[in-house]
Structure formats: structure tokens, C-alpha cells
Amino acid sequence: MDFKKIRKSFSRFAAWVGINICSLIVKVIPAGCLYSFAKNIAALAFIFAGKQRKIALDSLGIAFGKEKSPKEIEKIAKDCFTYMAKSAVELMFFFDKPQALKKLVQIQGKENLDKALAAGRGVILVSAHFGNFPLLLGRLAVEGYKAGGIMKPMHDAKMEKIFLEKRKKFGVRTIYSQPRNECVNNSISALRNNELIFIPIDQNFGTAGVFVDFFGEKAATATGPVILAQRTKAALIPCFIIRQPDDQHKIIFEPELKLEEGKDSRDVILINIQRLTNIIESYIRKYPAEWGWIHRRWKSRPVK
């Protein structure tokens, strides 16, 4: 009997049940209690989700171990859990009320986005698993932009189906990262149709990407945004969504990042993925609790 497989199946079933229960609760509790509910969920998760807590603390140690005390690192980890819980209940609450996003989420730097779209070659929104990034896509869809995101399907098919349906309700297009050829073709098609494609490049990418500096350590990073920009001449715009003290949100569109040249195409990719990663790191340093620390970002190591 494969106990590991049974444990995984049970964990996924429990998560699916938990999501559905939370979704029902969110629908019936007063809006004013939404964030109190999220804080309680986060407090329980920090206690009982031992594996995720350890990954968060280990990751924070790699990034800030030389700069912050253990107490400061633990506070960021707890805040991270709180922000993730808040994001989850927001998605459950606002995915059925898309127009409410106009008041909840403000936009800064919209002129940068519109200027890039005016060129007619599409826009690649480069970002991270930072803040409530699904709300970013939802807000753009409500604003009338044709927006989609390259996403890795969740391991749990039932959970993936729930979130796929919610994205469809918003009019957000899902482009799955696998199969690779299909992902590339769908992305190119969307960009040639002058659409927006959201690509997070902040998770471990194994040996298929390039290794760039991230918090002083080499991190395997996806190269898709730069390769797509080379092939389609689409604009590259870094963007982030930041939670405000009153739990409103602000989307920031940075100015277009023009590709820097290198000695060959591989060098161009490495140089510009490093530039994009530097921007992501700068936002994480400024708003550390906004990033998803429960991911082993530095798991893959470069061959020596």
C-alpha cells in the first residue's frame, strides 16, 4: 500500500473541502468580517501547516538572514500567511462581484500600459506571485482590456477547475504552461491580437531557464517574457499589485522595459531576465510580506 500517495490524495481532498467550506462562509458573513475571518484562518495555518511554515522561514532566511533578526523574519512569515488568507477570501468574495473591483483596486501608471498597447504588438506583463495578483488580471478585464495569464495547472484537478471557472467569470484567459508548444503558440496568437499576457517569473524553473542573481543567490528563472518579446516585438512592462493599509489595492505599471543588446541571443536573454528579476526583488524588499515565501525558490542549483 502506497501510504505517501494516500496521504497526498487525502490532503488534496481536505484542501478541496476546505476551499468549498470557506467559499460558503465568505458568501454569508458580512463584508466587514471578511478580513477578521482571514486572519483567523492564517493564524491556524501558521500553526498547523508545518511544512509551509518551514519553507517560508527557510526562504526568508536565505533572502534576509544577514539583514534581519529571527524575530523580524518570523513576523514577515506570519504577515505573509495573513496576506495569502486575505487574498483567498477576496477572490471568493469578489469573483462574484467583478464591478466591485473598480472601487477596491486602483491603477497607477495606466499611461505606460496604454502607450505600449498603442504600438499594436501586445504587452507582456512581467510580474511575480506577489500580492493578490489574480485581482490584477480581474481588474484589467473589468476595465475592458483583453487579459490572460500563463499559469501552471494545480496538481489537484478539482481545485484547478474551481479557479478556472472563476477566471472565466471575469473574462480572464488562461494559457496553461504545458504543453510548451501549445503555450507558446497561444501566447504569440494573443500578443499578435494586441492582448495582455501576464507572466510571473519568480518561481524555480529547474534546468530549462537561466540562473540569475536573486537576493544574492543564483535562482533558476523562466525566460519566456524575453523570448516572446524577441519573437513578437511585444512590449515588456513590469507590473505589481500592492495591498494598502486599509486592504484596498493598487496596481503599478512600470514604464516599458526596452531590451538591452548582448553579444548573442543567449546573452540578451540572460541580461534582460536579470534586469526583470532585479525589479521583482526591489518590490519584494519594499513589501516583503506580499511575496509567496512558501515556495523553494532556490531549489535548483547551477552545475559547477
Q: What is the pLDDT of residues 178-211, one digit of tens each?
A: 888 999 999 999 999 999 999 999 999 988 899 9
pLDDT for residue 226: 97
Residue 137 lies in a domain: yes
CATH number, domain at 131?
3.40.1130
Q: How many domains does the chain have?
A: 1
The residue-averaged pLDDT of 141-151 equals 93
Has residue 11 got a pLDDT over 70? no
Q: In whole angstroms, give the CA distance from residue 136 to residue 101.
A: 9
| pTM for the full predicted model | 0.92
Phi-psi region for residue 64, left (φ > 0), alpha (ψ -120 to 50) or beta?
alpha
pLDDT for residue 99: 85
Residue 22 lies in a domain: yes
The SS3 of residue 106 is strand
Residue 300 lies in a domain: no
Residue 135 lies in a domain: yes
pLDDT for residue 171: 82
Phi-psi region for residue 131, left (φ > 0), alpha (ψ -120 to 50) or beta?
left
What residues form DSSP beta bridges with 214? 217
Confidence of residue 10 (pLDDT cuts 50, 70, 90): very low
In terms of DSSP bridges, do strands 147-151 and 173-176 run parallel, antiparallel, or are they unpaired?
A: parallel
Structural domain of 165:
3-290
Residue 45 lies in a domain: yes
Has residue 229 got a pLDDT over 90? yes
Has residue 222 got a pLDDT over 80? yes
The amino acid at residue 244 is Q
